[in-house]
């Protein structure tokens, strides 16, 4: 199987290169197989991408390029390549047309060619409708087993099973019907490729960005501003009598890292949980003020929690910026959509977060450690998070869906979430964050709300202006 690159722009414009490698490394470095000029092709990275031929499929992977890799004008991290695809190595970088040439010795054959060859061989066999159908099925099965990829074999075997069921139900079966299904099989194959591309996208997004999505845990109480004394309630002790205990409020939320400087984005009602709420305490001549006991973040794969500092609170939307001390930890920063365009109704999205907080994480643990689940439930709220983190159980949930409506101040989507998922990132198909989850509609699970990422970008801009 030969790979052909037709250069449409860049330093090699007008040239055609042919490779028969199983893996082709692409970039401006001198060791790359497909090498671009580092002076002329400035948007292409030294190690930009690679193309691997595996199981009769060509798979393109971005290798950490600075300006991205695009297939048919769509930013990708990993995707299946089809004959005729347009590839761009870096936005405004060199463009090539991807072509495939099959040699006689190759065993990767298009579905239509398999059908034609199976039909031609069937015509040479003795006539008889049932015999003809059986011969055709045998020939097509042989083509599928010997000359197609594993994923395509599964598709063709499924189709053969349907054909066999049809033969049992219908006594007369003509060869012409197989020819009429060729176009339908082509459509199925394209649908299969599209599904595989989407699967790879979601799988890679979760793998790459989950470590940058944190569980936020908070614990706070109210104090009397003048004396500094906490608001308390009386609790009966075991030996008799009563003691004053602070009224402590505990909660969880979601946040995500957006810079290597340790800046996080979340909702304002997560960073400041009393925001917008009335406190229903008895009337008092004293003025109460909230005070955090704990505000911290747990990132997947890192046992210790990170203390959180509130950097900036939005006055126009439910958005806040927090910060952590990164130390030497390599936590991935999520990429925000800075194009300024509105979300597109109907476009697929992925939501990451911690809906239901520690309860949902405990539910996962119960499948692997049923003997310890009851003991863990008895742990105090703060201690429980630390134990779960030490066991490597704090990882965000991922749900998929679509944008169902896009307004100026909100994105409405149908990916499932619930309390605790507030502050989670909403990704579009290019892997960029387009929204921040902030609310659910309790009467209908298919309608949840996110703030457009523009509100976070504005808050970041305000903070930078204040620093200057």
Please state the rounded mean pLDDT for residues 326-337.
92
Percent of all residues in the chain with a pLDDT value above 70, rounded to a whole number: 71
Distance CA 417, CA 343 (A): 19
Please state the rounded mean pLDDT for residues 191-212.
76
Assess whether pLDDT exceeds 70 at residue 335. Answer: yes
Assess whether pLDDT exceeds 60 at residue 284. Answer: no
pLDDT of residue 130: 46
pLDDT of residue 246: 81
Domain 2-101 identical in fold to domain 209-460: no
pLDDT of residue 170: 46
Distance CA 29, CA 310 (A): 43
CATH of 209-460 among 3.40.50.300, 3.50.50.60, 2.60.40.10, 2.40.10.120: 2.40.10.120
**3-class SS string, 132-169:** HHHHHHHHHHHHHHHHCCHHHHHHHHHHHHHHHHHHHH
pLDDT interval class at 2 (50, 70, 90): confident
The residue among 407 and 163 whose pLDDT is bigger is 407
pLDDT of residue 261: 93
pLDDT interval class at 144 (50, 70, 90): low
pLDDT of residue 218: 96
User: Highest mean pLDDT: which of 3-7, 10-14, 196-200, 295-299?
Assistant: 295-299
Distance CA 355, CA 359 (A): 9
pLDDT per position as a tens digit, 336-391: 999 888 899 989 999 999 999 999 888 877 555 555 677 788 899 999 999 999 98
Assess whether pLDDT exceeds 50 at residue 34. Answer: yes
Query: Measured between alpha carbons, how far is residue 35 from residues 10, 13, 78, 98 in Å?
Result: 11, 13, 20, 15
Half-sphere exposure of 47 (CA within 13 A, CB side): 4
The residue among 311 and 445 whose pLDDT is bigger is 311
pLDDT of residue 230: 86
For residue 381, what is the enclosing H or E element?
helix 381-390
Half-sphere exposure of 274 (CA within 13 A, CB side): 14
Specify the 3-state DSSP secondary structure of 95.
strand
pLDDT per position as a tens digit, 147-196: 555 555 566 666 666 665 555 444 444 555 555 666 676 666 666 666 66
CB 8 within 8 A of CB 96: yes
pLDDT interval class at 87 (50, 70, 90): very high
Sequence ranges of the domains in the chain: 2-101, 111-180, 209-460
Q: Bridge partners of 70?
A: 75, 88
pLDDT of residue 70: 93
pLDDT per position as a tens digit, 52-68: 988 778 899 999 898 89
pLDDT of residue 331: 94
Specify the 3-state DSSP secondary structure of 299.
coil
CB 6 within 8 A of CB 107: no
Please indicate, yes or no, whether the overall pTM of this predicted structure exceeds 0.75. Answer: no
DSSP string for residues in 394-457: ---EEEEEEEEEE-SS-EEE-S---TT-TT-EEE-TTS-EEEEEEEE-TT-TT-EEEEETHHHH
Strand order in the sheet with 49-54: 34-35, 23-27, 49-54, 57-62, 78-81
pLDDT of residue 141: 65
pLDDT of residue 174: 52
pLDDT of residue 21: 87
The residue among 279 and 79 whose pLDDT is bigger is 79
Assess whether pLDDT exceeds 60 at residue 416. Answer: yes
CATH of 2-101 among 3.30.70.260, 2.60.200.20, 3.40.630.30, 1.10.1030.10: 2.60.200.20
pLDDT interval class at 294 (50, 70, 90): very high
Beta strands in 148-262, from DSSP E residues, in sequence order? 213-224, 232-236, 242-246, 249-257
Assess whether pLDDT exceeds 90 at residue 411. Answer: yes
Query: Token pair for residue 425?
Result: 């990132």
The residue among 454 and 342 whose pLDDT is bigger is 454
pLDDT interval class at 428 (50, 70, 90): very high
* Least confident among 37-41, 203-207, 233-237, 384-388: 233-237
Please state the rounded mean pLDDT for residues 84-100.
91
């Amino acid at each position: 199987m030969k790979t052909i690159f037709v250069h449409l722009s860049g330093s090699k414009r007008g040239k055609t290169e042919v490779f028969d490698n199983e893996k082709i490394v692409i970039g401006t470095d001198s060791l790359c197989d497909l090498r671009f000029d580092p002076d002329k092709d400035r948007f292409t990275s030294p190690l930009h991408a690679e193309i691997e031929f595996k199981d009769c499929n060509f798979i393109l992977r971005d290798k950490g390029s600075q300006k991205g890799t695009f297939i048919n004008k769509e930013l990708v991290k990993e995707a299946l390549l089809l004959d005729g695809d347009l590839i761009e190595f870096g936005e405004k970088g060199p463009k090539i047309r991807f072509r495939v040439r099959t040699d006689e010795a190759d065993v990767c054959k298009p579905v239509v060619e398999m059908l034609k060859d199976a039909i031609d061989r069937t015509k040479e066999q003795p006539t008889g409708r049932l015999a003809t159908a059986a011969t055709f099925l045998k020939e097509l099965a042989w083509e599928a087993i010997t000359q197609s990829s594993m994923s395509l074999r599964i598709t063709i075997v499924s189709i053969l099973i349907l054909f066999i069921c049809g033969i049992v139900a219908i006594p007369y079966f003509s060869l012409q019907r197989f020819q009429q299904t060729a176009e339908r099989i082509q459509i199925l194959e394209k649908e299969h490729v599209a599904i595989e591309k989407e699967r790879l996208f979601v799988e890679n997004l979760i793998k790459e960005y989950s470590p940058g999505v944190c569980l936020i845990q908070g614990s706070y109480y109210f104090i009397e501003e003048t004396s500094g004394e906490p608001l308390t309630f009386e609790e009966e002790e075991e030996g008799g009598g009563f003691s004053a205990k602070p009224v402590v409020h505990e909660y969880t939320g979601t946040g995500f890292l957006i810079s290597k400087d340790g800046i996080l984005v979340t909702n304002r009602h997560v960073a400041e949980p009393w925001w917008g709420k009335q406190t229903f305490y008895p009337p008092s001549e004293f003025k109460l003020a909230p005070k955090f006991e704990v505000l911290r973040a747990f990132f997947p794969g890192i046992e210790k929690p990170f203390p959180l500092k509130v950097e900036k609170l939005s006055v126009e939307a439910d958005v806040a910026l927090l910060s952590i001390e990164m130390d030497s930890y390599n936590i991935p920063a999520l990429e925000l959509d800075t194009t300024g365009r509105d979300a597109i109704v109907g476009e697929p999205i992925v939501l990451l977060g911690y809906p239901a907080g520690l309860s949902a994480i405990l539910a996962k643990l119960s499948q692997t450690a049923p003997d310890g689940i009851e003991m863990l439930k008895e742990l105090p709220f703060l201690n429980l998070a630390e134990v779960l983190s030490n066991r490597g159980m704090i990882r965000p949930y991922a749900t998929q869906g679509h944008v169902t409506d896009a307004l100026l101040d909100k994105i409405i989507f149908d990916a499932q979430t619930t309390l605790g998922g507030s502050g989670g990132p909403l990704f579009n198909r290019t892997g960029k964050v387009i929204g921040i989850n902030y609310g659910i509609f309790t009467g209908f699970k298919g309608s949840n709300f996110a703030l457009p990422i523009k509100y976070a970008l504005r808050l970041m801009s305000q903070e930078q202006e204040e620093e200057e």
